[in-house]
A and B are shown apart, each in its own frame.
Chain A
Amino acid sequence: MPRQKAVAFQIYLTQGNEENAAAKLRELGNPANVMQPSLLTRDALPTVHFARFLVAPSITLDGKNIEASILYSANIDVAVQEHWNNLATAIGGFLHELFLLCEGYEAEKADDSLLIQFMSAHFIKTPAFYIGAPDRTVDRIHMEDYLHRKVAEVINERDNSENSSIAVLNKIQTWLSSDENKYKNRLSEESSKTPRIKWIPAFLTFLFTLVLLVVNGLIIYPLIHFFYERRSKPLGLDINQLNAEDLEKKMAPENIVYQNQLSQVFVTKTGLRKFVLWVNLRVTQILARVIFVKGKLLGTPTIHFARWVMIDGGKRFVFFSNFDGSYDEYLGDFVDNSGWGLNAIYGASRGYPTTKFVMGGGAYKIGEFLGWGRYNQVETQAWYSAYPNLGLSQIINNSLIREGLYKKSLSEKQIDKLLRRI
């Protein structure tokens, strides 16, 4: 089973088109908003888990202008080139009109090959990418959701005589092998494996991280603490000190379905701070591949996908996340579980609450941290989720149910454990 891939592009807008592009992207809609049908649908894009389009606003940075750009990012089951093809086929007409607002696009009419070429040319790398439920395709996630629903129905229909674990399991197995189970063949054919932590790479990663931490802790972080953080200028606003109307606008598209998204654009600090960001993103990427493969990122179990991407040649970086629950819950979770992890990365963004030796302080000032987060949040004009009502924990649980049901033999303890999942 191939692992999901991250794809992204950044395309600069021609001057004066920032608002036009935002308005155009809003036409795509926020599919979580049930009031507004969208061009981005599962039928049109069956291999996309999540996707978003947004405008990274223009800013003046140290006297120089950074133009506004369109950012696209998606989490996909296919190769990048195939995804460009799919995107051009699904929303080619829309993309053509959108790209007419961008620099360097000169096609007279929508032409798939030109669109694909244009997107490919603006592809940007994703240096750190976290996948909540690795190795599951969109199709598999839906299939396993269906399986869970049906199995729950089956066990709810049991009668009083079916009062042992084995009797209940038999009832489920009977249904699984029956003809009414429309996914029967596909379920048994497609891999049901979920990634495991491989202990040798995990151990090596652990050692590597430990060494890095010691080096950082002894040399780099004290340097940053004494020479950078003391001069840094935190935004210093509690979330309640933000403009109430701006906050309202940012919250308007949230909390419609169970899932939410977050797009933030940060200005990167320079020098050693930027270098540490570069290192820490790579460490995050390794940890995400080797250790955080079972549904939790530093203890937080609600993130479907998250990524950090450098834009504008590294002058700014973005954080995109698709998660369950509310913004307050999401960021609060991180602070409760591992605020130091946030500090290690976001400390490189201008305005971040002052850290202590890189890992301390920062996010632990919760009100200021939430304020900084909202301040740097930008509107996600178009957002798509292939399964907006499914939580990450539930997706993982569904896979484990399926894995259990298709095991050749189960001990009584394992059966009990399996039934408790349903």
Chain B
Amino acid sequence: MTMVSNPQSIELDDIQGILVRGYGQLRYCHFFFVQVIDPEIGRDILHELIPKITPATVYDSKTSLNIAFTYTGLQAMGLSKENADNFPIPFQVGMTDNVRQRMLGDWGESDPENWFVGGKNGDEIHAMVVMYANTEAEIENFREEIRKHLSTHKSGKNAIKIVYEIGGYRREDGKENFGFHDSISNPVIKGSGRTGPDNDIIASGEFVLGYLNEHEQYPYSPLITDSQGNLNLLPPDANDSGHKDLGRNGTFIAFRQIQQHVDKFWAFMESKTNKPNGETDPHAAVKLASKIIGRWPGGAPLVKHPDQDPGVQSTDNDFGYAKEDPFGMKCPLGSHLRRNNPRDSFRDQNPKQSLKVTKRHRLIRRGRLYQTGTKGNEEYGLLFMGLNADIAQQFEFIQHVWANNLQPNKKTLYNDPDPVIGVPDPADPIQQQGDHNFRFAMQGDPACHYIEGLQRFVTIRGGAYLFLPSLSALRYLTTLGEAQLPPHS
């Protein structure tokens, strides 16, 4: 694989920055989940905020602001039901819908009934406001500035209610709470101007609405069929339907607040690697955890370093599995990384066909760590955002078909969920039949070794499907209260 140039061809100045940038240099972030009480005032406030939103062309800002809406949120801003129903069905019904819940495996403790945000019993959320800044002090200032914007309106009315908020951060070493370097293999959007390995540059339409995807078609995008607002602000539908496209340069976000049970994770690794005399073996525990994840803690890929951690921080993403490790002897077939991005080794297909398939199911991940709770009672976790043009074919597909599936992709995996994010909760109906001894197969020479009795190391604490509009779509939303004007010819 080689790094290739990727000249800019998408309209970065109309795209919210978070879609193209992870803001690695801005270590702190804060999320507001808000309700719009009065559409008119909501639109006024959005109008004020738009100049502060960071477009994808800006890469050196001190702060960054991005805003996304839910299905009910768009209607709370004044979008008509007919127009809102032009959005994709998963977005309309939301993450807590029964069918979606089952696909995602959110049962028991992870049931949306128990969520802190976006769940079945909590406050409905309309929008998610994501802020980034470089230091704790700066995020605090920025957060309060935005809070003031949201809660103060010239009318004196309290128009926007913050129903949930949470802060996040990035560790300097880039590791997540289990101790592994995260976010190394994010795909690169074709036309974004960023270089990347040629196999990882993915058609723009997989992530940005209004462009061709890996099927060489335009992804399904919400059109305006019920004339409202200033339609001149919106581009025409790329499929030439004659309608205006609310989606172009926007995308969808699957947000998940994922609690990580760090102690349980490491206790499990230790219990499975104890020496015969009962003593713990820290090296073996780290090795097992790395096999389960698919990289060493520092990020070095197992395919290149199968037996020992090279001990360096690595963002090496220049590898495949087909030639280097077809049988999973180095990076196990069921490891978290390999199953969720099988690269050039999907099922027993040849590398070209494998890449064709995997490129149709990728996700841009924007994860930040969080820590809540009081001393001695802390909760650690990940504020996860998966960005994709097609929730069903990307976020849901990966979670359902590749992570939760007990027999994913490879014929030698029989009862192997994703060991990190796919082990069923005891309340999952799948637990009521079949073999409950979920396991992790470590392929090896001369034979496989099974790690039995996998446990669930994560709990979903919140979630939502959101639409991240383009800047012009945001401007359009502010005009929804205007009288209808004939469109420019």
Contact = CB atoms under 8 A, between A and B. Distances in A.
B446 A163 contact: yes
B347 A420 contact: no
A420 B410 CA distance: 12
Nearest to A400: B411
Given A336-B357, A364-B215, A394-B414, A328 B397 contact: yes
A299 B433 CA distance: 30
A419 B217 contact: no
Interface stretch (A47-55, A220-228, A255-263): A255-263
Interface stretch (B27-35, B138-146, B399-407): B399-407
B406 A328 contact: no
Contact of A326 (B349, B401, B433): B401
B99 interface: yes
Nearest to B105: A255
A393 B401 contact: no
A257 B433 contact: yes
A126 interface: no
A397 B412 contact: yes
> Which of B99, B353, B410 has the most chain A CB atoms inside 10 A of its CB?
B99
Contact of A155 (B85, B356, B430, B447): B447
Interface string A396-416: 110000000000000000001
Q: Of residues A244, A255, A329, which shows the largest number of chain B Cβ atoms within 10 Å of its Cβ?
A: A255
B434 A389 contact: yes
A251 B327 contact: no
A189 interface: no
Interface in B434-479: 434-435, 443, 446-450, 452
Interface string B390-432: 0011000100110001110011101000000000000001101
B446 A257 contact: no
Interface stretch (B5-13, B90-98, B300-308, B309-317): B90-98
Nearest to A416: B446
B157 to A, nearest CB: 33
Contact of B429 (A35, A152, A364, A422): A35
B450 A420 contact: no
A152 B450 contact: yes
Interface residues of A, number: 55
Nearest to A395: B411
Given A238-B220, A248-B97, A257-B433, A332 B360 contact: yes
B447 A257 contact: no
Given A34-B433, A155-B447, A255-B102, A240 B88 contact: yes
B267 interface: no
A62 to B, nearest CB: 30
B89 interface: yes
Contact of A256 (B220, B356, B429, B443): B429
B443 A420 contact: yes
B53 interface: no
A393 B346 CA distance: 14
B429 A258 contact: no
A307 interface: no
A258 B406 contact: yes
Contacts of B233: none
Interface string A160-190: 0001110110000000000000000000000
Contacts of A420: 327, 412, 443, 448
A165 B433 contact: no
B360 A336 contact: yes
A325 B405 contact: yes
Interface in A8-36: 33-35
A123 B387 CA distance: 51
B103 interface: yes
Interface in A348-394: 364-367, 388-389, 391, 393-394
Interface string A323-357: 01110110010011100000000000000000000
Contacts of B360: 332, 336
B93 A393 contact: no
A158 B447 contact: yes
Contacts of B85: 244
A239 B89 contact: yes
A247 interface: yes
B70 to A, nearest CB: 15
A220 to B, nearest CB: 28
A416 B400 CA distance: 32
A148 B414 CA distance: 10
Contacts of A299: 349
B80 to A, nearest CB: 16
B446 A156 contact: no
A393 B401 CA distance: 15
A122 interface: no
Contacts of A134: none
A336 B432 CA distance: 34
Contact of A396 (B215, B406, B411, B414): B411
A129 to B, nearest CB: 23
A285 to B, nearest CB: 26
Nearest to A34: B432
A422 B397 contact: no
Contacts of B407: 258, 324, 391, 393-394
B411 A255 contact: no
B218 to A, nearest CB: 9
A33 B407 CA distance: 19
A163 to B, nearest CB: 7
A332 B393 contact: yes
A244 B99 contact: no
Contacts of A394: 407, 411, 414
A282 interface: no
A315 interface: no
A326 B405 CA distance: 10
Contacts of A149: 435
Contacts of B89: 239-240, 242, 244, 247
B306 to A, nearest CB: 16
A34 B429 contact: yes
Contacts of B349: 299
Contact of B400 (A257, A326, A364): A326
Given A168-B447, A326-B401, A366-B215, 17 more contacts: A149-B435, A164-B446, A165-B447, A248-B93, A248-B99, A252-B98, A252-B99, A255-B103, A257-B433, A324-B407, A325-B405, A329-B401, A367-B220, A388-B433, A394-B411, A394-B414, A397-B411
Q: For the complex of A and B, list the 6 residue pairs with the smallest distance between their C-beta atoms, beginning with the closest.
A: A393-B411, A389-B434, A391-B407, A165-B446, A240-B88, A34-B432
26 contacts: A34-B429, A35-B429, A152-B450, A156-B450, A158-B447, A164-B446, A168-B446, A168-B447, A240-B87, A240-B88, A248-B99, A299-B349, A325-B405, A326-B103, A326-B400, A328-B401, A336-B357, A366-B215, A389-B435, A393-B407, A393-B411, A394-B414, A396-B411, A419-B447, A420-B443, A420-B448
Interface of A: 33-35, 148-149, 152, 155-156, 158, 163-165, 167-168, 238-240, 242, 244, 247-248, 251-252, 254-258, 299, 301, 324-326, 328-329, 332, 335-337, 364-367, 388-389, 391, 393-394, 396-397, 416, 419-422
